[in-house]
Amino acid sequence: MPDDIRYSSQTLIVLAALLQAANDWRYGYDLSRETGLKSGTLYPILARLAERQWLETRWEHAEENGKPRHLYRLTAAGRQTARAAIREKAARLRGLEAAYRER
Amino acid sequence: MGMRLKRSLNDFPCALLNFFTALLPAEEKIWARAMTAELEEIGDPGTRWTWVLSGSWGLAKLWTRGRLLSLKDDGPLPVSLIAFYDAAFCCVLVGTLIGQLPLLKTPLSQAFIPLLIALFLACLPGFIAVGLWLVDDAARIQAILFSLFHALANLAWLSTSRPRWPLLPRARIALDFVMIVALLLPSVKRAFRPPPVRLRLLD
């Protein structure tokens, strides 16, 4: 599986949101509300994460009068990658902040 | 009546997303269905429309990415890029043609055949793009000829008139030249050659 995913700030926001309750299955709309990302940004990110097997997906059982919804959760590899990516980004930001203060 | 109209308007985003879902290949359909399922939870009409319009854009991105990746798998990268360029060129030509239609002064009955010919010509780079996508050697030769004619036409245009942006036709001639060279590369030619068939005489 290629590991060349671009950690855009939106991808990191999605990863952070999924990491918050890593064991829980999440709905797309809830993730959209939590992250503030529109569906057109959120779903391509989810698709890329699922393609790299960092995201588990499943269909919810249909309840009465309702369509089954798609659910998302990070896989073990996804959690590991997400933590590493967020840590790396935070370190980079801290470095930038330090450089800015030295000016 | 008012309630029915309101319900229909509320259902319209769902119908639109279902329409896009039907157009998508299987691997992207799942994401379109996931988006449609979420619509059940969104009550506010404005939010529903935002969800659908933004989602359609997202699906278009997923579709484009999928096609580009498949192009990359099927043929060498220069061929994929040329196919993409030709497809985009076709879209621009067809778009320009459609945009000019309201300016038509001749009755449509008289202009129909010339318009049909113009549409066919505008679609030519599109046909070539499909052929290149399918790694068809005839399309490679057509692409070379098309680039050659295009470069010559630009050259003629440059020599007979003063274009507003003279750099543009020059850049396009250079691009045509690069495309011709790329399509004549031995590695590209090899990619278009069908794999050899081993023949053996039966005992």
Enter the pTM of the model: 0.57
B38, B56, B61 member nearest A29 (Cβ): B38
Cα torsion through B50, B51, B54, B55, rounded to 10: -160
Residue A49 neighbours by CB under 8 Å, 6+ apart: A5, A11, A14, A15, A55, A74, A78
Which chain B residue's Cα is nearest to A46? B31
Write out chain A's pLDDT in tens, 103 residues: 445 555 788 899 999 999 998 899 999 999 999 999 999 999 999 999 998 899 999 998 766 556 789 999 999 999 999 999 889 888 888 888 888 887 7
Residue B39 neighbours by CB under 8 Å, 6+ apart: B13, B14, B17, B48, B51, B52
B36, B54, B65 member nearest A40 (Cβ): B54
Calculate the CA B101 to chain-centre distance.
Answer: 21
- Enter the ipTM: 0.83
Which chain B residue's Cα is nearest to A39? B55
| Backbone φ and ψ of A59, nearest 5° | -95, 135
Two structure tokens written together for B130:
């499909």
For residues B86 and B132, is the Cβ–Cβ distance under 8 A? Answer: yes
Cα torsion through B49, B55, B59, B60, rounded to 10: 60
